């Protein structure tokens, strides 16, 4: 998968592991991902979470016949982060014929929870 010139490359997101049942990715907390007060931007966390969920969803479908797209996402920002790296771990909590739901936990280097997110994906026929 080529991620050049995408949001992944812009935010420095790196996929560590990807399968239909588990996705892990990292993102730096730096000038690309911080808000003006010096903390990790909630939108960057949401982008990381949706990236993880969407990748897992994509690996779970019949890629010849289907596509999956984000339908809804929510996130609770638990703890601030000023620098370093965050890691997102996503696992499916529902895999249906028309939708999938993934839960994504974003943690810091000490495994402290930074953000918890739930992403619903729509599974659509390829046209």
* Residue numbers annotated as active site: 50
Q: Which residues of 17-51 are buried (b: 16+ CB within 10 A; e: fewer)?
A: ebeeeebbbebbbeeebbeeeebbbeebbbbbbbb
What SS3 state is found at 112? coil
Helix then strand count (H, E) for the chain reads 2, 6
């Amino acid at each position: 998968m080529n991620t050049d010139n995408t949001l992944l490359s812009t935010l420095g997101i790196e996929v560590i592991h990807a399968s239909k049942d588990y996705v892990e990715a990292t993102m730096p907390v730096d000038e690309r991902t911080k808000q003006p007060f010096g903390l990790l931007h909630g939108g960057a966390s949401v982008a990381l979470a949706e990236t993880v969920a969407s990748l897992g969803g994509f690996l779970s479908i019949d890629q010849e016949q289907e596509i999956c797209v984000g339908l809804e996402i929510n996130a609770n920002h638990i703890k601030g982060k000023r620098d370093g790296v965050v890691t997102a771990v996503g696992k499916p909590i529902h895999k249906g014929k028309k939708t999938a739901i993934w839960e994504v936990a974003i943690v810091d280097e000490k495994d402290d929870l930074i953000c918890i997110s739930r992403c619903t994906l729509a599974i659509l026929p390829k046209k």
